[in-house]
Amino acid sequence: MRPTITAFRNSPDGGGGHGRDMRVRWALEEAGVAYDVRLVDFDEMKQPAHLARHPFGQIPTYEEGDLVLFESGAIILHIAGHHPGLLPEGEHARARAIAWLFAALNTVEPAIVELEMAPYLDRDKPWYEERLVVLAERIRSKLDVLLPRLREAEWLEGGFSAADLMMVTVLRRIEGSPVLDEYPDLLAYVARATARPAYQRAFQAQLDVFRAAQAG
Ligand code: GTB
């Protein structure tokens, strides 16, 4: 059954592909699954119809027949569990890939989000500049762990997997920042992942949505 996902009608990232729908689009493209997109705006996301899909009133969601899912991690694992190519075959390798997927979501992404949010929350505080230094250092402590692994291997666990898909969408959030620029091998990792045709198709699809919204 053809799934339907939700995405911003008018993404605040200007078509940069930073919304978490991008992960779902990318996974579906990797799996070769055609999908529909239900576009929602910020008001709509807090209305009962969308809250029935997502209790926190966010995107992305995933509908497939009777199944309605929220949380990008759960959606990616569902897709990976039903289509070959997004998780390793061996039981242990599969479990390790899932561990890296959770590391992207629970260990790396929170540090990045904190830095992203700081200008909105703390810019007027006297300690703002010092906080930025601390937050950047916290991100470095995560990247320092990824670095040796991705120097030795092309992907986090065997071949390209949902773990890389998740980690790369997380790292993309600091693309262009001086912190990530300190790690050329991680930039190369992001570049080889985003060069994948499935990523390119997913990126173009969300960009088309943004451009259509701009055109009115
Ligand atoms: N844990 C959830 C998941 O992984 O699915 C988090 C979902 C989430 O944060 N969704 C965001 C959302 O719906 C959109 S992706 N926000 C609206 C709200 O909470 O009311 C996060 C996001 C938003 C905007 C940018 N941007 O502009 O660059 C980047 C990422």
Per-residue pLDDT tens over the stretch 55-105: 999 999 999 999 999 999 999 999 999 999 999 999 999 999 999 999 999
Say what angle helices 21-31 and 72-82 make with each other, to 10 degrees. 0
Per the structure block, which two tokens stand in for 170?
């997380």
Q: Three-state DSSP class for 4?
A: strand
Type and span of the H or E element at 38 = strand 36-40
Bridge partners for 168 per DSSP: none
Is the distance from the beta carbon of residue 54 to the nearest atom of ligand 1 less than 6 Å?
no
Which residues belong to CATH 1.20.1050.10 in the chain? 91-196
CB of 72 within 6 A of ligand 1: the answer is yes
Is the distance from the beta carbon of residue 77 to the nearest atom of ligand 1 less than 6 Å?
A: no
DSSP run (H or E) holding 111? helix 109-122
- The two structure tokens encoding residue 46: 């807090």
Residue 151 CA to ligand 1 centre (angstroms): 30
Atom of ligand 1 nearest to the CA of 58: 13
In CATH terms, the fold of domain 4-85+198-215 is Glutaredoxin (3.40.30)
Residue 1 has a pLDDT of 87
Work out which ligand 1 atom sits closest to the CA atom of 16. 28
Residue 48: alpha-carbon gap to chain centroid:
26
Q: Compute the distance from residue 20 Cα to the ligand 1 centre, in Å.
A: 6
Nearest to 30 by CA among 70, 87, 72: 87
Element (H, E) at 134: helix 128-152
pLDDT < 70: residue spans in the chain: none
Any idea what DSSP says for residue 68?
E
Q: Where are the domain boundaries for CATH 3.40.30.10 in the chain?
A: 4-85+198-215
117, two tokens? 């949010």
Q: Is the CB of 41 under 6 A from ligand 1?
A: no
18 lines ligand 1 (CB under 6 A): yes
To the question of pTM greater than 0.75 for the whole model, the response is: yes
CATH of domain 91-196: 1.20.1050.10
Q: Which tokens is 16 given?
A: 């940069």
Atom 23 (ligand 1) nearest CA: 19
